[in-house]
Amino acid sequence: MRCLRRLAKYESGEERNVKNICVTLQYDGSRYDGWQKQGNTDNTIQGKLEAMLSKLFEQEIEVHGSGRTDAGVHAVGQTASFAVNTVLGPAKIAEQMNSYLPKDINVVDCKIMDARFHARLNAKRKTYKYRLCTGNVRPVFGRQYVLWHPQELDLAAMKKAAAYLVGEHDFRSFCGNRHMKKSTVREVYEVSFEETVRKEGDAEYPELVISFTGEGFLQNMVRIMVGTLLEVGTGARKPEEMKQILDGKNRELAGAMAPAHGLTLWKVEY
Amino acid sequence: MRCLRRLAKYESGEERNVKNICVTLQYDGSRYDGWQKQGNTDNTIQGKLEAMLSKLFEQEIEVHGSGRTDAGVHAVGQTASFAVNTVLGPAKIAEQMNSYLPKDINVVDCKIMDARFHARLNAKRKTYKYRLCTGNVRPVFGRQYVLWHPQELDLAAMKKAAAYLVGEHDFRSFCGNRHMKKSTVREVYEVSFEETVRKEGDAEYPELVISFTGEGFLQNMVRIMVGTLLEVGTGARKPEEMKQILDGKNRELAGAMAPAHGLTLWKVEY
């Protein structure tokens, strides 16, 4: 019905400028209740975007993200699509959006897509990164984006454990939604570990960054995988337990969920 | 009198463990009213340190910083000295301090110094860095530590202007304290410019970092120099005006003071 009305508008000339836009967004999730809109008490990224766009373009605009990010999780490459009736080109749309967005959200890319493109339905691969500061001294700068974890970690054991997660599995044990009715089978393409040192003046902050690439992730899945890998790293669990955790299909078997602020949605590929 | 009492205590054995400590500090100045203690309504770095140390070591402790930093200015290498009567070694002192300091202040180095060492009186060189994000897109991550300045800057003109500041000059025109009674003569050893690109995922944020090294700086001096250099960079002033500004010895002649949050005290050398 809605489509037919749109078609009629288009034929009448009123909607000839309807564009399907895909934006790449960066946000500091610290002060938000996550991506997904929440009715009235709205303090979400999606909610902020829709309110701003609807006001800016004087039309109701629905924004589709590539997926939800939890409260406190950041993004350097979240994608979102929306249809808008405007004569503006993509560069101007991005500029307008940035001039109205709060300081902790911005648009770094804006493209016109085919009318059928949908940021969630067409997403093929997603990458998340979890940053851990592993030194003895708690970091001051950028502390909002890393988890300080000064205990020693057995990286070899963590890598061994992570290998169990790669491939297509039922990740029910790693799903934060215990009443999930849809399939909990996902394919994880890669889990990789990178050790770096961040310098701030003469002080050095060693970091361990764990990257997860997959076709998609369940609610809280990356944070539960990180929490479980940390339990392996500190010796509280053996790497081989990962198999039993997966096979058990029970959230109780996996480890604690790692804090949100260490996690960043890095990239969405189409 | 106080010294004599201390000496008496020392001879009686009570103060045999008095150590003169120098710590290197990092802090995110965003939520503080600067370095220097301010009586009762105290929300300063010095105030937080003295309160914490006095409680930790159960004795009154006075902390001497290498110098004051303005409200909102950060430090990756501030130094401070204090005398404390303790059997603890420097590593343990740093560890104890860090376990009681708030999340935005930490100790990255701690040394026992000669009894006559004083963090301010013995400082020989200081380096400050001012970070500008010069791209069209406002940065999200680490936005607390850079000034977003999307207007185009004439770097050659800024370098030419900066050359006038190097050397020993009366910097009265660049002094925020208009009633300064002490000498406003200072020697600036170097002003340098570095262009870098910070990457966040696929997005690039070009940065211009201006570093100032000198024997010491007057109140607000670095921020007023930056503000004036930016006016040269945007073409509002000519580089040659710097000479007249210095010669005029009048704060009205120099440019606006750049915002605090772009500035970081980088290093203090002895």
Please provide the DSSP assignment of A138-201 as one string.
Answer: PP-TTGGGSEE--S---HHHHHHHHHHHSEEEE-GGG-S-TT--S--EEEEEEEEEEEEEEEET
**Closest Cα to residue B66, out of B108, B19, B123?**
B123
Question: Which range (A26-35, A203-212, B4-13) has the least confidence?
Answer: B4-13
Q: What is the token pair recorded at A163? A: 């290998």
Residue among A28, A203, A267 minimizing CB distance to B140: A28
Q: Which of B26, B66, B131 to mutate to test the interface with A (most CBs of A within 10 A)?
A: B26
Q: Is the pLDDT of residue B153 over 90?
A: yes
Rounded Cα gap, residues A70 and A261, in angstroms: 10
For residue B134, give how far its alpha carbon lies from the nearest alpha carbon of chain A (Å).
15
| Beta-carbon pairs below 8 A across chains A and B | 91
Output b/e per residue, A207-218; b: 16+ Cβ within 10 A: bbbbbbbbebbb
Q: What is the pLDDT of residues B215-225, one digit of tens each?
A: 999 999 999 99
């013995």: which residue's tokens? B122
Higher pLDDT, A114 or B14: A114
φ, ψ of residue A174 to 5 degrees: the values are -110, 20
Interface of A with B in 112-141 (CB under 8 A): 136-141
Q: What is the pLDDT of residues A143-164, one digit of tens each?
A: 999 999 999 999 999 999 999 9
**Cβ-based contacts of A137 with chain B (< 8 Å):** 98, 106-108
**Closest Cα to residue A221, out of A197, A245, A238?**
A245
Please provide the DSSP assignment of A66-98 as one string.
Answer: SS---TT-EEEEEEEEEEEE-S--HHHHHHHHH
Residue contact A141–B26, C-beta within 8 A: yes
What pLDDT score does A126 carry? 98
DSSP state of A1: -
The pLDDT-based confidence of A12 (bands split at 50, 70, 90) is low
Higher pLDDT, A258 or A8: A258
What pLDDT score does A136 carry? 92
Biggest CA pair distance of chain A: 68
Q: What is the token pair recorded at A238? A: 């053996």
Taking each helix axis from N to C end, the angle separating B241-248 and B221-233, rounded to the nearest 10 degrees, works out to 150
8 A C-beta contact, residue B102 and residue B28 = no
Rounded Cα gap, residues B53 and B97, in angstroms: 7
Residue among A26, A137, A201 minimizing CB distance to B200: A26
Q: Is the pLDDT of residue B4 over 70?
A: no
Q: Is A109 on the interface with B (CB under 8 A)?
A: yes
The pLDDT-based confidence of A39 (bands split at 50, 70, 90) is confident
CA-nearest residue to A148 within chain B is B103
Average pLDDT of chain B to the nearest whole number: 94
What pLDDT score does B39 carry? 75
Report in angstroms the alpha-carbon separations of A33 from A45, A70, A73. Answer: 8, 7, 9
Q: What percent of chain A shows pLDDT beyond 90?
A: 89
Mean pLDDT to the nearest integer, A247-270: 97
Residue contact B27–A266, C-beta within 8 A: no
- Residues of B marked active site are found at 70
What pLDDT score does B265 carry? 98
Q: What is the pLDDT of residues B62-85, one digit of tens each?
A: 999 999 999 999 999 999 999 999
ipTM, two decimals, is 0.86
